[in-house]
Amino acid sequence: MSVFDDLKDIRERALEQIARSADLKTLDAVRVAVAGKKGELTSVLHQMGSVPAPDRPRVGKLANEVRASIEEALDARRAALERSELERRMAAQAVDVTLPGRTRPLGHEALVNSIIEEAQDFFCGIGYTVVDGPRVETEYYNFTALNTPADHPSRSARDTFYVVDESAGADGLPTSGVIGESNVLLRTQTSGVQVHTMETSEPPIYMICPGTVFRPDAADPNHLPQFHQIEGLVVDRGITFGDLKGTLDAFTRAMFGADRKTRYRPHFFPFTEPSCEVDVSCGVCGGTGCRFCKHTGWLEILGCGMVDPNVLRMSGIDPEVYSGFAFGIGVERVACLRYDLPDLRALVQGDMRFIRQF
Ligand code: DAH
C-alpha cells in the first residue's frame, strides 16, 4: 500500500473513531493513537524520507490535509462532548431557584405575655414605671407588711407553698397557720412588690409589676398552680377613689373595648380600705345575661382599693401626707374573658394550633 493510501485510510478510520467517541476519555485515546508522538499518523509522516522525491509535494500536501482534518474533527468532537458533559452536570446538580427556601418554623408569643405587654403599653402610656420583684418571698412581704392578720387562712400551708417553714414540727412537716416573718415562700400574689417599692422609693409612685405567682392548686379548667398577676400601685399627695376609678375604667376600655361598662363591687382585701372587685360587662351577651357570665351580665376582672394607712405606715410612708390606690389584675383571667377560653390549661400546654389563633 502506498503512503497515499495509508494516509487516506488513517483519515477515514480516525474520523470514524472520533465520531464514535462517546466521552472525552475515549476521544483522548483516539487522539493519542492517531496523532500522538507514537501515533499512526506520526509514524507515517516519519516515512516521508522513503517517498520518491517527485511524489513528496503531493504526499506532504495530503499529509497536512489529513492532519488538519483529524485535528479539526478532534476539536469539534471535544467541544461537543464538553458541552454535553456540562449540560449533563447542570441537569444533575441543578438548583431550582423557584423552589421555596427552607424556613425555620417561627414560634409565637404566649398569650399571657402578649396581654402583659398590652397592659404595660397602656400603663407606660400614662406615666407608670414597670418594676420587677422576687418570686421567692418572705412571709413578711407576702403577708405581714400587707396587713394580713396572723390567722388569715391564706397564710396556711394549704394555700401557700412554703420553702422554709421555721415553725415546722419535729417531723419537718409544715404546721398550718404558720406565722413567722422570715419564713420563705413562693409568692401567692404580686402585692408584696408594693412593699418593696415603697421601701426603696419616695412618692410619687406610679408603678405596675407583672409577674408569676404560685398557689397549691391542682391544674384544672379553672386553676393553675402557677399563674400571673399585674400589680399596680399609686402613692401621691391627694390621691382619691376617683383617681382609682378613672384609671381602671380607662384600662378596662383599652383592654376590652370602649363599649364595655364597669362595676365596682365592695369587697375585702387586708391591704386596702375600702376595697372592691371590678367587673366588666359581659362581652358575649352585652350584659343581658348568658352562660358565659353565669347569667349575671358581669365578669370579674380585678381587685383594687385605697391603700390601707397601716400598709403605708409599715413601709415608712406618712398616711397623713400621702394616699394611694392599688390593684391586682389576673392575667389568665383577662385572657379567658377576652377569648372565651374553656380551659386555662391551654395557656401553658404550648400547642401551636391554640397559640397561633391570637
Ligand atoms: N393580691 C390580690 C389577690 O391575689 C389582688 C389584689 C386586690 C391586689 C386588691 C391589689 C389590690 O393590689 O388592691 O387576690
163 Cα–ligand 1 center, Å: 22
Taking CA atoms only, the protein residue closest to ligand 1 atom 8 is: 328
244 Cα–ligand 1 center, Å: 14
Q: Return the minimum-mean-pLDDT range out of 82-96, 121-135, 248-262.
A: 82-96
182 Cα–ligand 1 center, Å: 22
Residue among 206, 310, 327 whose CB has most ligand 1 atoms within 8 A, to mutate: 327
275 Cα–ligand 1 center, Å: 9
**pLDDT of 317-334, one tens digit each?**
999 999 999 999 999 999
User: What pLDDT, on a 0 to 100 scale, did the predictor assign at position 55?
Assistant: 83
Give 195-248 as a 3 state SS string.
HHHHHHCCCCEEEEEEEEEECCCCCECCECCEEEEEEEEEEECCCCHHHHHHHH
Task: Quote the pTM value.
Answer: 0.71
216 Cα–ligand 1 center, Å: 18
**pLDDT of 61-71, one tens digit each?**
888 899 999 99
**pLDDT of 165-187, one tens digit each?**
766 655 555 554 445 677 899 99
User: What pLDDT, on a 0 to 100 scale, did the predictor assign at position 178?
Assistant: 47
Q: What angle do CA 80, 85, 89 make, to 5 degrees?
A: 150
Q: What percent of the chain clears pLDDT 70, i.e. is strictly above it?
A: 96
268 pLDDT tier (thresholds 50, 70, 90) = very high
Task: Please state, in angstroms and rounded to a whole number, the distance separating the CA atoms of residues 342 and 358.
Answer: 15
**pLDDT of 5-54, one tens digit each?**
888 899 999 999 999 999 999 999 999 999 888 888 888 888 878 888 88
Q: What is the CATH number of domain 111-135+187-355?
A: 3.30.930.10
- Cβ of 189 closer than 6 Å to ligand 1, yes or no, is yes
User: What pLDDT, on a 0 to 100 scale, did the predictor assign at position 1?
Assistant: 57
232 Cα–ligand 1 center, Å: 9
- Cβ of 269 closer than 6 Å to ligand 1, yes or no, is yes
Taking CA atoms only, the protein residue closest to ligand 1 atom 12 is: 327
Cα distances (Å, whole numbers) of residue 230 to 17, 43, 120, 188: 88, 100, 9, 13
- Cβ of 332 closer than 6 Å to ligand 1, yes or no, is no
Atom in ligand 1 nearest the alpha carbon of residue 305: 13
Taking CA atoms only, the protein residue closest to ligand 1 atom 3 is: 189
**Domain spans in the chain, listed from the N-terminal domain onward:** 3-92, 111-135+187-355
pLDDT average, residue stretch 206-232: 95
Atom in ligand 1 nearest the alpha carbon of residue 213: 4
- Cβ of 272 closer than 6 Å to ligand 1, yes or no, is yes
pLDDT average, residue stretch 294-316: 95
**pLDDT of 117-161, one tens digit each?**
999 999 999 999 999 999 999 999 999 999 999 889 999 889 999
Task: Please state, in angstroms and rounded to a whole number, the distance separating the CA atoms of residues 335 and 256.
Answer: 10
pLDDT average, residue stretch 307-312: 97
pLDDT average, residue stretch 333-342: 87
User: What pLDDT, on a 0 to 100 scale, did the predictor assign at position 180?
Assistant: 63
User: What pLDDT, on a 0 to 100 scale, did the predictor assign at position 176?
Assistant: 47
Cβ partners under 8 Å of residue 197, min gap 6: 131, 205, 207, 209, 233
- Residue of 136 and 95 predicted with greater confidence: 136
pLDDT average, residue stretch 90-116: 89
DSSP type of residue 263: E
User: What pLDDT, on a 0 to 100 scale, did the predictor assign at position 172?
Assistant: 53
Side-chain half-sphere CA neighbours of 24 within 13 A: 10
Strand 272-281 and strand 298-307: the pairing is: antiparallel
Taking CA atoms only, the protein residue closest to ligand 1 atom 2 is: 328
Average pLDDT in the chain: 91
234 Cα–ligand 1 center, Å: 14
- Cβ of 324 closer than 6 Å to ligand 1, yes or no, is no
**Cβ burial, residue 14 (10 Å; 0-12/13-18/19+):** buried
User: What pLDDT, on a 0 to 100 scale, did the predictor assign at position 265?
Assistant: 97
Atom in ligand 1 nearest the alpha carbon of residue 328: 8
